[in-house]
Structure formats: structure tokens, C-alpha cells
Chains A and B, each alone.
Chain A
Amino acid sequence: MLPILHAIQAAFGHVPSTALGLIADALNVTKAEVHGVISFYHDFRETPAGRHVVKICRAEACQSVGATGLAAETLAKLGVDWHETTANGAVTVEPVYCLGLCACGPAVMVDDKVVGRVDEARMNALLAEAGA
């Protein structure tokens, strides 16, 4: 079921509720089971995200080089909390627990693009590029 959910999310940006019945029929499971799977995994969303998703690493190695402060400043500046989207619909901010960039943190991923050693200036540039 995961490959199907990934494909739907890649195409639509989220897994729309209308897709649940189709997936359930195709895999011969109940809609409740499909919902159970979607809700278990952090990756899948049932509502659309912003035009760009900015993931900020919250894990220990990034914390040791200031990720907690960076995240707090970023959220405050955008006026959102984790998982929320900016009012103009440009950016959704998600927490992530390690991107495998732990020797060059704080680490951030904008859509599929990785960025290391992110400080306030670099974050501002990334957000501006994303239209936030």
C-alpha cells in the first residue's frame, strides 16, 4: 500500500479522502484500514500542503549546533506552528528527525533539496526563494 500512497501524494500533494475508497477496493481491504495506514506514517497528509514543504531537522546532532533556535525563529517569523502553512499558501513547515546530514547541521530539506549548515541568513534566502 505504501508505494500507492506515495504515488498518489506525489501526484496530488496529499492523499485526498476520495482516494481512500479506490485504494481499499483495489487492495481488497476496508477504508478504515487504509485510513489507519495513512495516519500511522508522518509522511502522508490528508489535506493539501503549501506550494513548498520546508523540513527542519529537530534531532540531536542538529540541536548541538543550534537547530532548536533556528526552528523557533523560523516558525515565529512565518507566524506558524509545526505542520502549518503560511497564510499565502507558499510554505508548510514540518519537523524531521534526521536527514543524514548530521556532520553539517543544522540541516533542512526544501521539497527534495537538501541544505546544510543553515543559519538565519541562509534560512531567509530559502524562504524567500520559496515565496514565503
Chain B
Amino acid sequence: MKIYVPMDSAAKALGADAVAEAIVAEAARRGINVELVRNGTRGMIWLEPLVELDAGEGRKAFGPVTVDDVPALLDGTLAGLGPVEDIPFFARQTRLTFARCGVIDPLDLADYQAHGGLGGLRRALAMTGEEIIAEVTDSGLRGRGGAGFPTGIKWNTVLGAVADQKYIVCNADEGDSGTFADRMIMEGDPFTLIEGMAIAGIGVGATRGYVYLRSEYPDAIKVMNAAVRIARENAVLGADVLGSGKAFDMEIRVGAGAYVCGEETSLLNSLEGKRGVVRAKPPLPALEGFLGKPTVVNNVISLATVPVIFEKGAAHYAAFGLGRSKGTMPIQIAGNVKFGGLFETAFGMPLGTLVNDVAGGTATGRPVKAVQVGGPLGAYMPSSKFDTPFGYEEFDGQGGLIGHAGIVVFDDTADMLGMARFAMEFCAVESCGKCTPCRIGSVRGVETIDRIARGDADAIPILTDLCETMKDGSLCALGGFTPFPVMSALTHFPDDFATTKEAAE
């Protein structure tokens, strides 16, 4: 009998380690032979720890499983969920990037290859750099870190740059609240990221790579380090990648708890061991990046999507999606929701379908008040905008952004003035300090919102002006986009800024 218990941090945070131990102990007590696999998560967090049991007739899911459920699980009397693929939340997804996550043993390279792994890299190794970049360009892949910049164009710039050394840097700083796709793929299918980085390196002529991984993810750091070691032992990395004669190797570097280090130039400074201050652009990192050399900086999901593009072909990937948002997006459904987790789907699903249908509304059962999409710099969307299709241009047109595709749902008890204040406070805490509007403006922002809370209506236009100044006078999106959550809260939920005033009067 084979039993799968996820080792994903979200599953662990909900007790998966204790369940795994109980299964081993109970099996030993009964003298039955159980092969325990610690897989990644299938992404349905409300069902974690989600245990799968295969007694020879395919994998059957159970969840959430507690330690007390273990005897019944082994007796075959525990009520189950059937095959994961039949659970509605899972059945309606299109899993390309996350196809293997939760299915395989994350650190079993043979299992990885049995599920299509390394097929993309093998194909890329037979191509020229130009052909590799053309494939990425044709797939329509855009940066999943937030800005949505076309990945093929970025790679082409690095390919065209002449230098003795080029680098691939993976941005695994994932600081946005409501996002965990990077973490899940690193913990659940780390070889995908390694393969994607190797294809990038072979494509642009870079022989070294770094993953800048946030320190808040100790489990992901362990898995990625182990995966790099295994990849190196099996010549997936090294001087002779899969016997091609081409070199690519990489290492994991750990961040130190600064949100701004997710910004690519700040990240490069941090990787160089300096303060993570944002650099002015130009020069682009693609031309003068890590240690001044041409560097591809891409998000984890951008890079982890490259293998499936090469395995199935650019046309297959580009056939999914909507308009200029091609392919699929691993959407992270978070906050006050009934069904939270990772939902990979083609671009184009309306926000309201995601919130009310897929996520099942709020966990508290109360009405949805607001949805923050795209992390702490994303706008709060009211339910009147729920028909907006999930796509880069579509959200932009509604004064929002999809960012790294985190969706955070709030019920009607949310205090939007408080959320606006938090956005300013977060900017003040995390500012790199380079621009006055960001460093000082955010502190003034907190004070101004406190004045509004005390009933001073004159402070409202001051807040609006301050947001304009921050938008115009900030070098990066931390200072420049903090006005999005603040102004959207003020515009769409004016009552939260007015009732406190009346109460005070």
C-alpha cells in the first residue's frame, strides 16, 4: 500500500507531519507494509492534510485527516473524497505549470522524468539560442512576478549582449500577501524550476544561476538545496548538462526579510551582499545586472513554466488564455474564503466566478466586501467589478493589477480605512529609503489616515494629493503603487472613511 502525505508547508502548518508519523506507527503496530511518500500539495488547502492512499486501484483522497483518523484510514472505513482529479475545485483547472505538483515525490528525479520531466530541456539542448528564444516568444509567456513583461523579449536582450559571463537569477522573494505559488512549486516540484533555469541558461548563454529565496520559507530552502544537489549528481546541472557539452550550474541564496528585495534591482544588490536599495533603470539588468553582467531576472513561475512550453510546444501553451494574456495562471485564492488554495486556469475567468464560485465565497459565510488582487500594491476591488476577466490588460483597465495573481477576500466586517492605513504603514516599514515620496510620504500617509479616522474631512484631499505625489515621484512600484490599495479603498468604500467621521462629530 502506498500512502501520500504532503510535506508542503501549508500541509505541515495544519498537522501533516503528525499524521505522517501516526501512519508509520500504526502500520508498524499492525505489521502491514506501507510505502509513505511525502509529496507536494495538490493545492486544496482547506482539505489539508490531504492524504492519498493507493491500495492498487489508484489514488483515493481523504481530508482533512487528523491523527485520530489514522486507524480508520488503514481499516478502509474512513469516509473519503475519491480521486483528487474528481474533486470539483481540481477538476475544473488546467494544470500545465503545476501538472506534477502533489503528484510526484518532489525529490525523486526518476519520478520527475516518468511524468514528462527533462523532456523540455532535452528538446532545448538540440536547439540554437535563437530557436530557444523564438519558442519562448511564440508561447506568449509574460513575467509572472507582477509586471507581465514578455519573457522572450527579455531573454533576447540578454542573448544579444556580449559578455564573458551572463547570469540567470530566479526571483523567489514572493513577498506579496496572498501568494504562495512560488513556494508550492519549489516544495512540490523543484526540478521544474531547475529545468526552466537550465533552459534559460542554455538559451541566452549563461552558465550560472542563482535562486534568491526569501528566508521566510525555510522548508522551500531545504527542498531546493536538496534538489540542486541531486540535479548536479545526475548531470542535469554542471559542466556537461545531460551530456550536451553545454554548462549550467546554480545555487540557492537566502534573503533576509526585506519586501523590497523582490524588486529586481534591489534583489541584485542584495545578491551582491549590499543593502537592498533599488537601482535606477537604465541600465536594464538584462544588460548590466548581477555584478554588472547581462542577467535574466525572472520570477519562479515564469521559469517553472518554461519546461512545459518546451515539452508540449509553444503553440500548445499559447492556445490557452485571453487576448495578450496567453497560457495559464496559477491563481492563489487566499484570505477569508471557503475553498482556498492554488487554482491554475487559463487567463480569462471573471473575478466574480473565482471568488463566489471557485472559492465558494467567504469562510465566515458573510457577504464579500472587497477583494485585493495582486498583493499589497494591488487595488481593492468591490463586487461591482466582479465581471472583470482575469488578464493583464483587463485588470489594468479597471484600475487594478493581477501582479503575482494572489486574490485576498474580505468579508463585510473589513474596515477599509484600516486596510488603507496598513498599506501606508507597510510602505513605510519596507521602503528602501531612496525616494522621499515613498520614505516620508508613507509616514505622512499613516498620519493623514489617522486624521480622517478622527473625523477630519479636510484630510481626505490631502491624502489624495499625497498619493499623486507618491505615484509620480517614486522610483519603483513600492512607493508608486501603494496609492492603488489606498485610493481604491477610499474611492470604492467611502462609507468606511465617512462613518468614523460622523461618529467623531
Q: Contacts A40-B276, A100-B174, A102-B334 known; A5 to B13 CB distance under 8 Å?
A: no
Q: Contacts A2-B256, A97-B177 known; A109 to B376 CB distance under 8 Å?
A: no
Bound Cα distance from A104 to B342, whole angstroms: 12
Q: Which of B257, B259, B332, B418 contacts A102 (CB 8 A)?
A: B332
Whether B216 contacts A96 by the Cβ 8 Å rule is yes
Q: Does B183 contact A (CB under 8 A)?
A: yes
Q: Does A61 contact B (CB under 8 A)?
A: yes
Bound Cα distance from A102 to B336, whole angstroms: 9
Q: Does B217 contact A (CB under 8 A)?
A: yes
Size of chain B's interface in residues, with CB distance under 8 A? 59
Query: Smallest CB-CB separation from A118: which chain B residue?
Result: B13
Whether B276 contacts A102 by the Cβ 8 Å rule is no
Q: Which of B48, B256, B270, B422 contacts A60 (CB 8 A)?
A: B422
Interface stretch among B108-116, B162-170, B402-410? B402-410
| Residue-wise interface mask of B (240-275) relative to A, using a CB-CB cutoff of 8 A (1 in contact, 0 not) | 000000000000011111110000000000100111
Tell which of B334, B411, B426 has the most Cβ of chain A within 10 Å.
B334
Q: Does A77 contact B (CB under 8 A)?
A: no
Whether A2 contacts B253 by the Cβ 8 Å rule is yes
Whether A60 contacts B216 by the Cβ 8 Å rule is no
Size of chain A's interface in residues, with CB distance under 8 A? 38
> Considering the complex, which residues of chain B in the window 303-324 have a beta carbon less than 8 Å from any beta carbon of chain A?
none
Whether B335 contacts A41 by the Cβ 8 Å rule is no
Bound Cα distance from A41 to B397, whole angstroms: 36
CB distance from A109 to the nearest CB of B (A): 7
Bound Cα distance from A46 to B138, whole angstroms: 50
Q: Contacts A59-B376, A100-B183, A114-B219 known; A42 to B257 CB distance under 8 Å?
A: yes
Whether A103 contacts B340 by the Cβ 8 Å rule is yes
Tell which of B14, B175, B256, B336 has the most Cβ of chain A within 10 Å.
B256
CB distance from B171 to the nearest CB of A (A): 15
Q: Does A115 contact B (CB under 8 A)?
A: yes
Known interface pairs A60-B178, A97-B259; 5 further A-B residue pairs with C-beta atoms within 8 A, sorted by A's residue number: A6-B254, A97-B429, A100-B216, A104-B45, A105-B335
Pick 28 A–B contacts, CB within 8 A, sort by A.
A2-B270, A3-B254, A37-B273, A37-B274, A42-B258, A43-B257, A44-B256, A60-B408, A61-B334, A61-B406, A61-B408, A62-B177, A63-B419, A64-B410, A64-B411, A64-B414, A97-B430, A102-B178, A102-B332, A103-B45, A103-B332, A103-B333, A103-B334, A103-B340, A104-B14, A104-B45, A116-B13, A116-B14
